[in-house]
Amino acid sequence: MQRKPRILVVGSFVMDVIATTERVPASGQTVYGKSFHTAPGGKGANQALQCARLGAQVTMMGCVGDDLFGRQLLEIPRQAGVDVSRVVVRPGISSGVGHVTLEVTEHTAQNRIVVIPGANRTLTVEEVSWLRQEMSSFDMVLLQLEVSIEVNLAVAGWAREAGVPVMLNPAPATDLDDRLLKLATYLTPNEQEASAETGLPLRMDQRGIQRDDLKKIAAALAAKGVEHVIITLGANGSAVVLGDGIQYIPAVHMDHVADPTAAGDSFVGALCVGLTIGLPQTEALAFASHTAAITVSRMGAMPSLPTLEEVAQLLRQRAYQGFDLSVLDALR
């Protein structure tokens, strides 16, 4: 029997505090909301949980506060089989919090998020140093930008030494350290992040995203040392830059969009799983698109992330022909 892929995620834990409204207030204005709830999240934790729900063996490293949110943030990944035994619990500081305003209309849902990093930004290189000796046991390392750049550089450097591929999800958008880009095997920005990192426009016309803009952005990122550039484009799907040009992978649309909060994390987690079981990039991207489609049809971050069986069912329902679904048996 084929071994399940082992994925290391180093990143954030964030409790999302979500207010749902039909209309976002303007400056100085008050509006009534429709509902309020909390949902465990954080880009790192979401991605780790998605990998685990798809069948991978996942180790998560990060930092939470010694508070109620911290305990709740660890419990859901733990229940899904994520190894959180080495996560740092930091006394005297709050866990990360995401303040989410979700504007819901009849056909769409748009979010606006303010993240308070809390304990996430206190994680140190010394606290993750145990990973250096363990690195060769992993098939993929997944990083984001919600922990310090020093931690990301250290982990990515150890992965490079061990010959383990690194997927860097450059979110939230910020100026990236070129040293980190050179250590990334895969870079997965969305359109805003890709434009912000390169300083180049990514325009859209009636035919969709302009190919020339995508090519220029991909070339600029490749010049910084990134091996594989994959740009997510929201409702326009995703694009992978190949040697012979750009290939688009269409988005998978659902009848109902409830909450896009964790869609990008779901996509990136599923992409990691697809690549580590040997799917070619375009097929791994299609697998990720089907996974993220289920996520946007549900409320919350962690609660919305689908299982392998749910994704396989959607692939069958949509009559996907890109790969034999028996390849997913490696995850069962």
pLDDT of residue 83: 98
pLDDT of residue 244: 65
- Exposure pattern of 146-156 as b/e (b: 16+ CB <10 Å)? bbbeebbbbbb
Q: Name the residue ranges covered by the structural domains of the chain.
A: 6-13+42-95+120-331
Of 16, 213, 265, 329, the active-site residue reads 265
The DSSP code sequence of 196-263 is HHHT----EETTEE-HHHHHHHHHHHHHTT-SEEEEE-GGG-EEEEETTEEEEEPPPP-S-----TTH
Query: What number is the average pLDDT over the span 149-167?
Result: 98
- The CATH number assigned to the domain with range 6-13+42-95+120-331 reads 3.40.1190.20
pLDDT tens digit sequence for 296-322? 999 878 989 999 999 999 999 999 999
pLDDT of residue 273: 98
pTM, whole model, 2 decimals? 0.91
Query: How does residue 1 score in pLDDT terms, banded at 50, 70 and 90?
Result: very low
pLDDT tens digit sequence for 27-74? 999 999 999 988 889 999 999 999 999 999 999 999 999 999 999 999
Task: Compute the mean pLDDT over every residue in the chain, rounded to the nearest whole number.
Answer: 92
Percent of the chain whose predicted confidence (pLDDT) is above 90: 71
pLDDT of residue 91: 96
Query: What number is the average pLDDT over the span 17-25?
Result: 91
Q: Among 155-159, 205-209, 219-223, which stretch is predicted with the lowest mean pLDDT?
A: 205-209
Does the annotation count 265 as an active-site position? yes
Query: How does residue 141 score in pLDDT terms, banded at 50, 70 and 90?
Result: very high
